[in-house]
């Protein structure tokens, strides 16, 4: 390598470091903002916890053909839903608000790289998903005797299901954030489809009791696979054969579908996100 | 601050941008020299924001040539954005941060920010550093907006309606601050629809109406150009505007009994007016007679009216 390419290389490296360190700074700011807006924290955390406690308290019996209680069964489902909502609802809403209240425009005029802004958002989503999982799992273990995964393979499954779930949720949150026509409408726009997914993906209603055609439809979306993956980790082995459709969690298919969502979502996110700047090929950008 | 060169900071020629329905920019020319304060004045929807966003690199133009700080803003990169600053109104998402957190975060985005103490002193923010943004008053918030715009030590600063919605005293403080920035060598481009802002701040003014520059020059020239004077007085009721003799010309009714005439020869007009007034049976029905140069407001309203009449036949 000659000196010029060396310099070029080190400039690129510096830029890369700047993107990452500024991304970490953004993540820190996002977290501070989230933790200080108490309404948002309470709303985000309290809703799934309340649902979990309610479900567990109202339905005290066990699921057909297993000794799994409703509280135990619902814990992995609500964890899966919360992981998805961290990106699909929280991230998408916060970005839609920032697109409309001028934050994005302000940042677009600073040298902050767009990649750092997005990295901050993704890390915030990850932190939120971790926080919600810890809280819900604690409630599940304390109130409903949910077994913490002990085997190495269960922990590994939990790891990849969680990471793929957060990644899919985050990229889709970014892609969807440009849909609402105002910041205020964002929460209204994102909540109904999320609720719909929860009903058909085996979160609120046992997946086996959902009509096969609706199950097939749910299979196109990440939540069905995220929920099955979480059940495989937290429910006893007997549950799979007794209460899953076809007697299987179909983890391999789930990994494939989630992976595809991450890839497609990433491509969509890159196209949808313009950081408040107009793109040369698309002049139809809304006035920010 | 970094060295300034003598070539213009902004040159724009024949910039067009259409959104359909006649809105947009129809061939705008603009030159801004270093350390100048230039105001872009115009009614809502005149294209002020579009023009500024094209200069900032946020928006593309259909046609025309633009150089900002020696670069085409369409190819704006991090280096370009580290040399400009923009003062925008803070969104509500920042409410939970303190003033010092906002300042530190923004200064981290820039390669060579101003020392924090300098920004804090310049905008008098020392006592507000630990306050949450949500607790700031309108004027304090705007001071923070400006601080965030200059924290990167910009050579060129864009201000979008810097004093809209602020009380008169705060507006004056903000004007003083902007003036100080220009004295330190920062070039300032501001959009506004306040005439007093233009009068107090701008070295040069561009009047933008319906996407076209209808007037451009030193701000003081905006009132000198018209060359005529204004004769203003109040009519004592029951005398009405319709009672005035037609030889005076076409009067302008400013309110129910406040009247003004525009003329190139105020002397004869006043003489005729007084002659008529003294003939009235109940004594002269005229109070508060003034002869003066047209105010900036008169000049601006004239420009607006001319532009409106010219565009009428086409509409």
φ, ψ of residue A262 to 5 degrees: the values are -65, -45
Residue matched to tokens 């009047």: B207
pLDDT more than 70, % of chain B: 91
Average pLDDT estimate for A45-70? 89
Q: Quote the tokens at residue B100.
A: 């010092």
pLDDT at residue number B91: 62
Q: Band the pLDDT of A282: cuts 50, 70, 90.
A: very low
ipTM above 0.85, yes or no: no
Q: Band the pLDDT of A1: cuts 50, 70, 90.
A: very low
Per-residue CA distances from B11 to B15, B67, B217 (Å): 10, 5, 15
pLDDT at residue number B21: 63
Reference B24, options B51, B63, B58; nearest CA is B51
Do A87 and A173 contact (CB within 8 A), yes or no? Answer: yes
Residue of B nearest to A39 (CA): B96
The answer to whether residue B275 neighbours chain A at the CB level (below 8 Å) is no
CA distance B122 to B179: 12
pLDDT at residue number A31: 92
Say which DSSP state B3 is in. Answer: -
Q: Band the pLDDT of B3: cuts 50, 70, 90.
A: very low
Task: Name the pTM for this structure.
Answer: 0.82
pLDDT at residue number B6: 66
Task: Give the residue with greater pLDDT, B91 vs A194.
Answer: A194
Q: Band the pLDDT of B314: cuts 50, 70, 90.
A: very low
**In chain B, which residues have their Cβ closer than 8 Å to the Cβ of A287?**
49
φ, ψ of residue B273 to 5 degrees: the values are -60, -45
Say which DSSP state B19 is in. Answer: -
Average pLDDT estimate for A26-54? 89
Residues in CB range of A117: below 8 A, 6 or more apart: A23, A26, A107, A275
**Residue B311: is its pLDDT beyond 70?**
no
Do A112 and A193 contact (CB within 8 A), yes or no? Answer: no
**In chain A, which residues have their Cβ closer than 8 Å to the Cβ of B56?**
109
The DSSP secondary structure of B241-279, one letter per residue, reads GGGS-GGG---EESSSSEEEEEES-HHHHHHHHHHHHHH
Q: Band the pLDDT of B210: cuts 50, 70, 90.
A: confident
**In chain B, which residues have their Cβ closer than 8 Å to the Cβ of A108?**
58
CA distance A173 to A239: 32
Nearest Cα of chain A lies from the Cα of B156 at a distance, in angstroms, of 12
Do B296 and B303 contact (CB within 8 A), yes or no? Answer: no
Average pLDDT estimate for B158-184? 88
φ, ψ of residue B164 to 5 degrees: the values are -60, 130
To probe the interface with A, which of B96, B147, B151 has the most A CB atoms within 10 Å? B96
B93 and A101 within 8 Å at the Cβ level: the answer is yes
pLDDT at residue number B38: 96
Q: What is the pLDDT of residues A60-93, one digit of tens each?
A: 888 878 889 999 999 999 999 999 999 988 899 8
Say which DSSP state B71 is in. Answer: B
**In chain B, which residues have their Cβ closer than 8 Å to the Cβ of A113?**
78
pLDDT at residue number A105: 87
Partner-chain residue, chosen from B91, B92, B108, that has the shortest CB–CB distance to A22? B108
**Residue B304: is its pLDDT beyond 90?**
no
């Amino acid at each position: 390598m000659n000196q010029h390419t060396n310099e070029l290389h080190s400039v690129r490296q510096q830029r890369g470091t700047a993107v990452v360190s500024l991304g970490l700074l953004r993540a820190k700011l996002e977290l501070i903002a989230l933790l200080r807006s108490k309404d948002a924290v309470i709303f985000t955390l309290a809703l799934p916890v309340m649902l979990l406690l309610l479900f567990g308290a109202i339905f005290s019996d066990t699921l057909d053909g297993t000794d799994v209680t409703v509280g135990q069964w619902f814990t992995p489902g609500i964890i899966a839903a919360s992981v998805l909502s961290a990106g699909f609802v929280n991230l998408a809403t916060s970005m839609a608000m920032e697109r409309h209240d001028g934050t994005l425009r302000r940042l677009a005029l600073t040298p902050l790289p767009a990649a750092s802004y997005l990295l901050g958002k993704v890390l915030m989503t990850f932190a939120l998903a971790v926080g919600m999982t810890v809280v819900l799992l604690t409630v599940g273990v304390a109130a409903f005797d949910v077994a913490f995964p002990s085997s190495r393979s269960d922990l590994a499954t939990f790891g990849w299901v969680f990471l793929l779930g957060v990644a899919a949720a985050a990229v889709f949150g970014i892609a969807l954030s440009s849909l609402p026509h105002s910041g205020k409408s964002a929460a209204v726009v994102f909540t109904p489809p999320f609720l719909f997914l929860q009903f058909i993906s085996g979160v609120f209603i046992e997946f086996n009791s959902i009509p096969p055609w609706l199950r097939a439809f749910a299979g196109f979306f990440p939540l069905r696979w995220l929920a099955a993956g979480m059940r495989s980790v937290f429910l006893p082995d007997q549950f799979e054969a007794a209460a899953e459709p076809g007697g299987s969690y179909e983890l391999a298919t789930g990994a494939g579908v989630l992976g595809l969502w991450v890839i497609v979502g990433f491509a969509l996110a890159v196209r949808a996100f313009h950081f408040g700047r107009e793109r040369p090929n698309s002049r139809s950008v809304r006035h920010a | 601050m970094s060295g300034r060169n003598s070539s213009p900071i902004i040159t724009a020629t024949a910039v067009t941008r259409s959104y359909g329905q006649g809105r947009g920019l129809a061939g705008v020319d603009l030159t801004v020299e270093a350390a100048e304060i230039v105001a872009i004045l115009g009614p809502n929807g005149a294209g002020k924001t579009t023009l500024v966003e094209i200069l900032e690199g946020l928006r593309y133009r259909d046609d025309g040539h633009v150089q900002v700080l020696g670069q085409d803003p369409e190819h704006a990169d991090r280096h370009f954005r580290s040399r400009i600053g923009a003062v925008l109104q803070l969104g509500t998402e920042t409410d939970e941060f303190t003033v010092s957190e906002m300042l530190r975060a923004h200064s981290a985005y820039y390669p060579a920010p101003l020392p924090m103490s300098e920004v804090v002193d310049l905008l008098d923010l020392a006592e507000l550093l630990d306050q949450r943004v949500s607790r700031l008053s309108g004027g304090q918030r705007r001071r923070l907006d400006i601080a965030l715009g200059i924290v990167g030590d910009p050579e060129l600063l864009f201000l979008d309606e810097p004093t809209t919605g602020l009380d008169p005293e705060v507006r004056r403080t903000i004007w003083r601050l902007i003036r100080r920035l220009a004295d330190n060598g920062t070039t300032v481009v501001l959009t506004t629809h306040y005439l007093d802002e233009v009068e107090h701040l701008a070295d040069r003014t561009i009047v933008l109406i319906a996407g076209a520059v209808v007037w451009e020059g030193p701000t003081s020239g905006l009132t000198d150009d018209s060359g005529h004077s204004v004769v203003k007085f109040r009519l004592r009721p029951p005398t009405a505007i319709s009672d005035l003799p037609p030889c005076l010309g076409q009067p302008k009714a400013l309110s129910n009994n406040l009247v003004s005439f525009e003329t190139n020869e105020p002397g004869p007009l006043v003489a005729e007016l007084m002659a008529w007034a003294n003939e009235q049976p109940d004594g002269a029905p005229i109070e508060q007679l003034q002869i003066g140069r047209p105010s900036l407001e008169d000049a601006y309203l004239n420009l607006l009216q001319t532009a409106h009449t010219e565009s009428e036949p086409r509409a």
